[in-house]
Amino acid sequence: MTNENIGTFLAGCITPEFLGNAKGVKWLAAYEKKEGKMTGTWEKAFSLFEQLQKKDLMNLEPLRKQGNLINNTIYMGRGKMIAAYGSSAFLEECRQMNEKEVKAGTSKKYEYVMLPFLGEKKTKNWTLTLPAGYVGLNSALKKEGNEEKMDACLKVMDIISTQKGQEALMKDLRLDNSYLKQFDRSDSKAPSGLESTVKDGYVYYVKFPGKVVEYLGLQGTQYLSGQKSVKDVLAAVDDYYLNGSKEADQDLTVVGTSPKDFIYQNYNTRLKETILGNLVADSIADYSDAPIAVANGGGIRASLYKGNILGDDLKAVCPFDNQILVVKMTGSVLREMLEHSLSEIDGSRGIPGGRFLQVSGITFTYDSAKPVGHRLLDAKLKDGTNIENKKDYTVAITDYMAGSKGYLEGNGDGYTMLNLFSEKDPKAKGVTPVKQNVGTYRDAMQNFIQKHADALEAVKAEGRITDINDD
């Protein structure tokens, strides 16, 4: 779920009993004037999350481990997930994905419906649609004698345009409402099936100022992952709204667009070459002007999905603030570094170590069946030239790998052969700094995505890392 999804879900949980009545409307009006706070009012919005967890209907363990994020549309389309949160547009995406999977012979045909938000016992259930804008028609126009007025309204709606000039997609829900939605010219399907879902329901107009809903979702994610309490979340949202935050604005800003999915799953960046790992490593090489770059597989924690990319999406992919560091190292040290990166592919408790390196500018082959310390078979530059032990190579690593946090308790991923900073460990031989504090993985990725937007589609697995025992 995106930050906007989670924030909207929280708002949805509190709408019927609060924002949908006079007390809530007054609160929202005061809030828009910065005369109200979420603290002391919104705690109840989180109660549904708590109930779902208690009934074992929501598993938060992957999120708490900063584990794999999944594409809900794909999983719903393949029938591997029975329920997911989303808008009416998401409903149609699931249907279309299932149609593709059925045609490809990879899934059975499934039916999809929207479930309503659950309210209190005396509150009618209700459903959320996510339009770019509503056009309302008074129900009185349906009465006898108002046919001309109704017809005139419909004609106006036929030629109405959106604020930014996108084409408008109109759907008659037979609910005295129609809506506009930006859409892809190649796919003009409107979400269907909403008539029965919203029958005898309500339409609530709830509009929050600025990016409050997205930031509520951003903070809500930290609550779900166990990093913050409800009290801390609401305090952070209040502070953001009342005082502003450059960091939060960056998290919620679109920094680029991805033409396809770059998937992180089953700790794949710690086991083999991946297109996501190649993207990160290429970004580091480009940003640092280094011909060779490496990225810890453990520093890559989430997928990057097709569509708009927020600053927070990059933070999810690469959450750590370690600084890129450019060094010169001998070929002997480079080979030792690569050998070390293969030492925890078996992992402990079935989880491979994060020291496995994704690479740019070089290729290497290894044998996972061999014992630790003897797995690397060869290492070459991308032009096929062998890496020579006594020759110097310019490589982008991180200060973390170079001992900025020491090497105790797994810090630095054990790359002691690169140590430039730790005073408690022997300093590296054959390694000298060239450029420090270049930026984070996130900085490099944002720069690459903006600078080389047309090249993202071509990023692929291309044999940079080969395990001769890979089935």
pLDDT in tens, 57-115: 666 655 554 444 456 788 888 888 777 777 677 888 899 999 999 999 999 999 887 77
Considering its fold, how many domains does the chain have in total?
Answer: 3
Q: When comparing pLDDT for 55 and 126, which is higher? A: 55
Least confident of 81-95, 138-152, 401-415: 138-152
Instruction: Among 213, 229, 252, identify where a domain stops.
Output: 252
SS3 label, residue 255:
strand
Both 261 and 374 in a single domain?
A: yes
Q: When comparing pLDDT for 156 and 124, which is higher? A: 124
Both 232 and 176 in a single domain?
A: no
Instruction: Among 140, 155, 190, identify where a domain stops.
Output: 190
Distance (Å, rounded) from C-alpha 343 to C-alpha 368?
9
- The CATH number of the domain holding residue 228 is 3.40.190
Mean pLDDT of the chain: 81
User: 349 CB contacts (<8 Å, ≥6 apart)?
Assistant: none
Q: What pLDDT is stored for residue 102 in this prediction?
A: 94
Both 81 and 146 in a single domain?
A: no
The answer to whether 139 and 132 are in contact (CB under 8 A) is no
Four-residue CA torsion sign, 229, 233, 238, 239: positive
Residue 198 lies in a domain: no
Residue 21: give the domain boundaries: 1-125+204-252
Both 367 and 451 in a single domain?
A: yes
Q: What pLDDT is stored for residue 68 in this prediction?
A: 40
Both 53 and 165 in a single domain?
A: no
Q: When comparing pLDDT for 207 and 139, which is higher? A: 207
The answer to whether 89 and 191 are in contact (CB under 8 A) is yes
- E-strand ranges in 259-360 read 292-296, 307-310, 324-330, 357-360
Q: What pLDDT is stored for residue 410 in this prediction?
A: 82
Q: When comparing pLDDT for 266 and 137, which is higher? A: 266
Both 424 and 332 in a single domain?
A: yes
Give residue 137's pLDDT band: very low, low, confident or very high (50, 70, 90). Answer: very low
The answer to whether 264 and 318 are in contact (CB under 8 A) is no
Does the pLDDT at position 239 exceed 70?
yes
Phi, psi of 447 (to 5 degrees): -60, -45
Q: Which amino acid is at 426?
A: P
Residue 88 lies in a domain: yes
The model carries a pTM of 0.63
The mean pLDDT value for 8-20 works out to 77
Q: Which amino acid is at 317?
A: V
The mean pLDDT value for 291-313 works out to 92
User: 209 CB contacts (<8 Å, ≥6 apart)?
Assistant: 31, 32, 241
Does the pLDDT at position 431 exceed 70?
yes
Rg (the chain; Cα; Å): 26
Instruction: Among 231, 252, 273, identify where a domain stops.
Output: 252
Both 107 and 54 in a single domain?
A: yes
Distances (CA, A) of 349 to 65, 344, 345, 353: 14, 11, 12, 10
Residue 195 lies in a domain: no
Both 340 and 455 in a single domain?
A: yes
Distance (Å, rounded) from C-alpha 340 to C-alpha 416?
10
- E-strand ranges in 217-342 read 254-258, 292-296, 307-310, 324-330
Does the pLDDT at position 294 exceed 50?
yes
Residue 32 lies in a domain: yes
Residue 197 lies in a domain: no
Both 174 and 308 in a single domain?
A: no
Distances (CA, A) of 234 to 15, 18, 183, 229: 17, 17, 34, 9
For residue 140, the tally of other CB atoms under 10 A from its CB is: 10
Per-residue tokens: 265: 């799953």
Distance (Å, rounded) from C-alpha 271 to C-alpha 266?
9
User: pLDDT digit string (tens) for 246-265?
Assistant: 887 888 788 999 999 999 98
Both 333 and 374 in a single domain?
A: yes
- The CATH number of the domain holding residue 450 is 3.90.780.10
User: 135 CB contacts (<8 Å, ≥6 apart)?
Assistant: 157, 160, 177, 178, 179, 180
Both 285 and 176 in a single domain?
A: no
Distance (Å, rounded) from C-alpha 76 to C-alpha 53?
21
Both 382 and 273 in a single domain?
A: yes
Query: Percent of the chain beyond pLDDT 70?
Result: 75
Q: What pLDDT is stored for residue 123 in this prediction?
A: 60
CA dihedral 433, 439, 441, 446 (to 10 degrees): -140
Distance (Å, rounded) from C-alpha 138 to C-alpha 140?
5
User: pLDDT digit string (tens) for 337-382?
Assistant: 999 999 999 876 678 999 999 999 999 999 999 999 999 999 999 9
Residue 283 lies in a domain: yes
Does the pLDDT at position 33 exceed 50?
yes
For residue 115, the tally of other CB atoms under 10 A from its CB is: 10
Checking DSSP bridges between strand 465-467 and strand 362-366, what pairing results, if any?
parallel
Distances (CA, A) of 373 to 35, 135, 367, 378, 397: 64, 67, 11, 13, 21
